[in-house]
Amino acid sequence: MRISRVIVSAAVLTSLTGLVTAVAAMPAAAAASAVNYVALGDSYSSGLGAGSYISSSGSCDRSTNAYPERWAAAHAPASFVSVACAGATTSDVISSQVSALSASTTLVSLTIGGNDAGFSSTMETCVLHSTSTCVNAVTAAESFVSTQLPARLNSALQQIRAHAPNAKIVLLGYPQLYDLSKSGTCIGLSTTDRTDLNHAADALDGAMNAAAISNGDTFADVRGQFAHHEICDGAGSWLNSVNILSISSSYHPTAAGQEQGYEPVFASVAG
């Protein structure tokens, strides 16, 4: 009789243990399946420069190698859509991207601000003209970043919050473009040009970080991840240098930059 009671008690205990384990595992599984993810932003989020473009995205140049697509493929959220578009500004996010959001959206990512500050035209000026002209262009861009961009970033983040009140909003920054420690042996722009362009990236990231903090959102800094994988790092670079065959891809992350630069940083804060 005692032996049978022990056997029954052990069986009950085993069943209860299994039930508790199953119940404990349920919230994690439910949380994973409950993620509704929307990617917004500009070319650094669409994946311009990373190849393997999705034909239906047209001139937005969304790539299957972009960090939003890669993260979604790895984490299987309940829903995922990317409306990130090459060339997008903060006003484009407000006018044509936030409509992809809803109260059910739980995760939003974006890179934005570089086009507002005239990133493309500044880089073009630095490539085609003298150092003094480049420095003047960078100075003008930095002035815009400090005086006008903060309000634009705040407006964009506030509109995102209004359309996705329950979402975690992750604003990802931009990498520095050059490894200055290798500049002496790296053909192309002068070290002065490269130094100023890196400083401009820092200023842009600083404005983005401040906007994220001000709006209760998350800023994800990619500069450390890209360190020693910038232009001038040869085959180890995760950024496209000037490409005369694909000018628009110049100074954008390669497929490796999206996979090893952006995706791990986003994954570390996405939850």
Tell whether 4 and 62 lie within a shared domain: no
Is the distance from CB of 136 to CB of 186 less than 8 angstroms? Answer: no
Domain with 3 in it:
1-32
- The span from the CA of 134 to the CA of 21, in Å, is 62
Tell whether 78 and 129 lie within a shared domain: yes
Of the candidates 46, 57, 237, 252, the residue annotated as catalytic is 252
Tell whether 58 and 20 lie within a shared domain: no
pLDDT, residue 21, reads: 47
Tell whether 142 and 22 lie within a shared domain: no
pLDDT, residue 123, reads: 86
Please spell the DSSP secondary structure of 208-224, one letter per residue. Answer: HHHHHHHTT-EEE--HH
Tell whether 143 and 205 lie within a shared domain: yes
Task: Return per-residue pLDDT of the chain as tens, 271 residues.
Answer: 444 443 334 444 444 444 444 444 445 445 556 999 999 999 999 999 999 999 999 999 999 999 999 999 999 999 999 999 999 999 999 999 999 999 999 999 999 999 999 988 898 888 888 899 999 999 999 999 999 999 999 999 999 999 999 999 999 999 999 999 999 999 999 999 999 999 999 999 999 999 999 999 999 999 999 999 999 999 999 999 987 667 788 899 999 999 999 999 999 999 8
Total count of domains within the chain:
2
CB neighbours of 176 closer than 8 A, spacing ≥ 6? 198, 201, 202, 223, 226, 230
Tell whether 6 and 38 lie within a shared domain: no
Tell whether 14 and 78 lie within a shared domain: no
Residue type, 178: Y
Tell whether 191 and 159 lie within a shared domain: yes
pLDDT, residue 14, reads: 45
pLDDT, residue 187, reads: 92
Q: What are phi and psi of 37, to 5 degrees?
A: -110, 130
CATH of the domain at 163: 3.40.50.1110
Tell whether 21 and 136 lie within a shared domain: no
- The span from the CA of 180 to the CA of 191, in Å, is 7
Is the distance from CB of 241 to CB of 253 less than 8 angstroms? Answer: no
Of the candidates 9, 15, 43, 45, the residue annotated as catalytic is 43
Tell whether 104 and 190 lie within a shared domain: yes
Tell whether 28 and 51 lie within a shared domain: no
pTM check: above 0.95: no
Tell whether 129 and 254 lie within a shared domain: yes
- Is residue 57 among the annotated active site residues? no
Please spell the DSSP secondary structure of 90-126, one letter per residue. Answer: HHHIIIIIGGG--TT--EEEE--STTTTTHHHHHHHH
Count Cβ neighbours within 10 Å for each residue of 29-61 and write b for 16 or more, e otherwise: eeeeeebbbbbbbbbbbbbbbbeebbeebeebb
- Is residue 43 among the annotated active site residues? yes
